[in-house]
Amino acid sequence: MPDVRRRLVGWTVLLGSVALAAAVGAPLIGSTRINLARAFDTALPYADNVDAQIFFIARLPRVLAAALVGASLAAAGVVFQALLRNPLATPFTLGVSAGAALGAILAISLKLQLTLWGVSAVTGASLAGSLGAVAIVYALARARHRGFSTNVLLLAGVTLNSFFSALILFVQYIADPAETVQTLRWLMGDLGVAGYGPILAALPLTLAAFVAFAWLPRAMNLLSLGADAAASRGVNVVRTQQVAFFSASLVTGAAVSLGGPIGFIGIIVPHLVRLMVGADHRIVLPAAALLGAAFLIVCDVLARLVMAPVELPVGIITAIIGGPFFLWLLVRQR
Amino acid sequence: MHTRRNRCGIFAATACALAIVLATGRPAITVEAQQVPQRIVSLAPSVTEMLFVMGAGPRVVAVSSFDHFPAEVDLLPRVGALVDPDLEKILSLRPDLVITYGSQNDLAAKLAKANVPTFRYRHGSLGDVTTTLRELGRRLGMASTAESVAAGIEQDLDRIRTRVKSEARPKTLLVIAREPRSLRAINVSGGYGFLHDLLELAGGANVFGDVKRESILVSTETILVRAPDVILELHYTDAPSHTLVDQERAAWSLLSAVPAVKRGRVELLFGEELVLPGPRVVVTAAAFARALHPALMPR
């Protein structure tokens, strides 16, 4: 017990510092040099202060969004891998991201114009799509018998993924080519949130999910021994699986609505963390969230710098880093 | 039995058959008339406009799904577009010229197999509009008409260029796409392509002119740094209500340090001709010039 607590504190402090350093350093880095003193100079009128606007509108929201999305996707990855008892599971396996993508792409192709509480039509439609996907997958998983079968869940999720992907291709095919270009762009991921509105919109769901995440680790440790073994040790297996499924899916939906489907975080970060801290979910889950935040913040900085002034979609950076890393991981485990 | 009589008979019959075939063959037509296309299918809206402006409208038998101008095309059958050309429908119309996009290699190969001539169209700079017009004219046997139309377009553009020549050139951000009501996914015109050329002609200086790409994704940071004096935003539909236009323009108020926003020089332009490198580039050029130099070019 105390040993776990000590290790948890140790790792949290370490990774927390890394994440904090990234969060503080990233707004200072960019394709242009800004004068920090001027940026924080309250004497200058805000409307004239280019440095302040670069810092507070162009950079800081991106860094916060990257931290939120990175932490969400990494933690969701850990939870899904535990839920489905499969190290290859990602937050996108069960079709949540495909549902979010379908919503966003419909909004872009239909050129929807409405805004709700500072949330654009694309973000709102994307969230609706993800919630729809979660509902369908859950209904399918429950349809077979009153319990909750992770096998059916996996099959339903993968099938829904394919179905939504087909619908996405269909919409792209029949839409105006100009809109199709925009949809392709959205699918590559984009953390360029100008302003704090989209972040605040994603915050409620994310916080709720993280509260649930706080409750899960001990149960997930026991679940990894098998459903029966866990049940015999007093874990309410179905309740745990339901909480895990909903919290991880909803946080994924919020993250994808905010920044698009940014891949590889949900699979690299959990594995990387397990390499460092072991398999105890009580440490892996918070550590993954912190490392995920730091990782995506760094990837976003690279996305801004690599081809400046042209901005590279951050999903490309995570894929370029993630792909080879994942191959190395697979080869290493032989 | 191969007797001598039989062999002669067979030889005579073959000779007669050959004579009949040769005699009923098609009579020689003049080479020119044979090559001038009379049934044209156009997959590129800008080329469709070129055909109509040259007077070859009556020869157009089908257009793409995205053709809207001139009004006559509404009566014509549609055969798909860049991504989804309907080969069967095209062939069923028995065309003798199909205008395809330069990137539609598959389609061009299939049409070549069916012995249907194609005109491969690629859009690039502003100069390519009149070059394509002239090439098309030659292909259609209307070289002189095409020449006068092209010369007319060039004169109109020159007139605009001269009118704004002596004015100061404002640093301009030419936005070609953006997520509605927000400053995400901002696509701007780089220093290449007909929109950039039109902007320079209309007396503006493209703030991203140093990036030699037709369309680039930029962040709010780079916009703040490059500090454009005017923001020209293109929308490819008809102008919506004033309230909606104002709401769309209000999205830029977030970046109040940008000179264009501070001075209220965010101009939204509407019209589907804005995205077409065809004969109506003159209209687009005039719209740009009016937006950049409002005092000089009254409505």
Q: Domain ranges for chain A, please list them.
A: 2-332
Q: Is B245 on the interface with A (CB under 8 A)?
A: no
Instruction: Tell me, yes or no, whether B211 and B278 share the same domain.
Output: yes
Residues of A in contact with B221 (CB under 8 A): 30-32, 54, 58-59, 304
Residue B299 neighbours by CB under 8 Å, 6+ apart? B290
Which residues span the domain enclosing B46? Answer: 31-122
Give the model confidence (pLDDT) of B56-90 as tens digits.
999 999 999 989 989 999 999 999 888 889 999 99
**Quick one: B81 and B174 in the same domain?**
no
Contact yes or no for B172/B269 (Cβ under 8 A): no
pLDDT tens, position by position, A9-37: 999 999 999 999 999 999 988 888 888 88
**Chain A residues within 8 A of B226 when measuring between CB atoms:** 309
Judge whether B143 lies within some domain: no
Read out DSSP for A31-97?
Answer: SS---HHHHT-TTS-GGG-HHHHIIIIIIHHHHHHHHHHHHHHHHHHHHHHHHTT-TT--TTTTSHH
Task: Retrieve residue B8's tokens.
Answer: 């002669």
Task: Provide the 3-class DSSP secondary structure of residue B238.
Answer: coil
pLDDT of B160 over the 90 cut: yes
Report pLDDT for A333: 67
B114 within some domain? yes
Determine, yes or no, domain membership for B141. no
Which residues of chain B are within 8 Å of residue A31 when distances are taken between CB atoms? 221-222, 225
Q: Tell whether B8 is covered by a domain.
A: no
B103 at interface of A, judged by CB pairs closer than 8 A: no
**Binary contact (B184, A112; C-beta < 8 A):** no
Q: Out of 3.40.50.300, 3.40.190.10, 1.10.3470.10, 3.30.360.10, which CATH number does the structure's domain A2-332 have?
A: 1.10.3470.10
Is B109 found in the same domain as B41? yes
Number of domains comprising chain B: 2
Mark whether B177 and B268 lie in a shared domain: yes
Residue B7 contacts A where some CB pair is shorter than 8 Å: no
Beta-strand pair B40-42/B97-101: parallel
Residue B281 lies in a domain: yes
CB contact under 8 A, B83 and A111: no
Q: Do B225 and A59 touch (CB under 8 A)?
A: no
ipTM over 0.95: no
pLDDT value at B258 more than 80: yes
Tell me the count of A-B CB pairs closer than 8 A: 109
Query: What tens digit of pLDDT does each residue of A32-74 get?
Result: 888 888 888 888 888 888 888 999 998 999 999 999 999 999 9
Distance of CA A304 to the CA centre of its chain: 19
pLDDT in the model for residue B129? 93
Tokens at A63, concatenated? 């860094």
Q: For the residues A229-251, what does the mean pLDDT come to? A: 91
A35 contacts chain B (CB < 8 A): no
For B86, list phi and psi in degrees, rounded to 5: -95, 95
Query: Can you give the pTM of this predicted structure?
Result: 0.85
The CATH number of whichever domain residue B77 belongs to comes to 3.40.50.1980
Q: Identify the CA nearest to A30 among candidates A69, A58, A70, A52.
A: A58
Residue B23 has pLDDT above 60, yes or no: no
**Sheet hosting strand B60-62, strand order edge to edge:** B60-62, B40-42, B97-101, B118-121
Residue of A268, A217, A224, A277 lying closest to A247 (CA atoms): A217
Question: In this structure, is residue B12 part of a structural domain?
Answer: no
The span from the CA of A174 to the CA of A25, in Å, is 44
Residue A63 CB contacts under 8 Å (≥ 6 apart), including other chains:
A22, A23, A26, A27, A297, A300
CA quadruple A203, A205, A207, A210: dihedral sign: negative
Cβ <8 Å between A177 and B83: yes
Residue of B nearest to A176 (CA): B66
Q: Does A310 touch chain B (CB under 8 A)?
A: yes
pLDDT number for residue A299: 95
Q: Which of residues 145-184 of B touch A (CB under 8 A)?
A: 177, 179-184
Domain assignment present for residue B117? The answer is yes
Residue B26 placed within a domain: no
Q: Say what the pLDDT of residue B27 is.
A: 46
Tokens of A167: 């619908």
3 state DSSP class of A208: helix
CA A53 to chain B, closest CA, distance in angstroms equals 7
In 3D, which of B129, B275, B278 has the Cα closest to residue B214?
B275
Name the DSSP class of B272: G
Cβ contacts of A319 within 8 Å, gap of 6 or more: A263, A264
Contact A112 B180 (CB under 8 A): yes
